[in-house]
Amino acid sequence: MRNAQGALWPVSMIKPEHQLEDETVRKIMHYATELSEQVARFKAHTFDDLSAFEALLAQEYSATKGGAKGNKTFMTYDGLKKVQVQVSDFVEFGPQLQIAKGLVDECLNEWAEGSHEYIRAIVTRAFNTDKAGQINRAEIFMLLRLEIEDPRWKRAMEAIRAAMRVVGSKTYVRCYERDSWDGPWRAVTIDLAKA
């Protein structure tokens, strides 16, 4: 058997538990590879089938289903099964974000004078980075929803919007089913971690 350094070893010199581990991993990897290929084929067939359906709709009505971003829901006639196609953008923030942080800090320094330090922490955490060095996007988007009339705040929100850059997107297909038309939807799990 070949070892991790590429050298060949006689099987008689390899411990039985190492042989069994090797055999077990190879067996699992064989099934995992087949399953991965099957999921890839399923995804390709799903997009082909949905595209063919949409082409028929476009031909029939001279229109397309859903928006340009691809967010669409397809449902069975009885309302018990549905397939959702969702597109998620990957957003990065440019250097304008630091300008926005400076403007927000100016506002906070003035507004929080005499206030508890927790107020500053709530807003400042939006600009903190996580372990991977990523900005907390949800918190940044929360700041954008606040209606504050201060001109510095408005400039800060403009800087945040200018800092946002879509650097890619990913399309997801999710399948759901339910037992009755008013029952809760259950996801049809394809993710190994959730199966």
Q: How many helices (H) and strands (E) does the chain have?
A: 5, 4
Query: Do 14 and 57 have their domain in common?
Result: yes
Cβ atoms of residues 144 and 154 within 8 Å: no
pLDDT, tens digit (0-9, with 9 covering 90-100), for 32-79:
999 999 999 998 999 899 988 888 888 888 776 555 566 899 999 999
CB 52 within 8 A of CB 140: no
The more confident residue out of 56 and 133 is: 56
Q: In this structure, how many other beta carbons lie within 10 angstroms of the beta carbon of residue 22?
A: 12
Specify if 82 maps to a domain. no
pLDDT digits (tens, 9 = 90+) for 12-23: 999 999 999 999
Comparing 175 with 91, the larger pLDDT belongs to 175
Q: How many residues does the chain have?
A: 195
- Give the pLDDT of residue 186: 95
Give the β-pairing of 186-187 and 164-177. antiparallel
Residue whose token pair is 């300008």: 99
Q: Note down the domain range covering 52.
A: 1-65
Domain count of the chain? 2
Q: Does residue 138 sit within a domain? A: yes
Phi-psi region at 6: left, alpha or beta (left = phi > 0; alpha = psi -120 to 50)? left
Average pLDDT of the segment spanning 175-195: 87
- Secondary element (H or E) of residue 32: helix 16-61
Whether residues 98 and 144 share a domain: the answer is yes
Contact 135, 184 (CB under 8 A): no
What does the radius of gyration of the chain's CA atoms come to, in whole angstroms?
A: 26
Structural domain includes residue 110? yes
Let me know if residue 24 belongs to a domain: yes
Residue 2 has pLDDT above 80, yes or no: yes
- Report the predicted TM-score, pTM, of the whole model to 2 decimal places: 0.60
3-state secondary structure of 113: coil
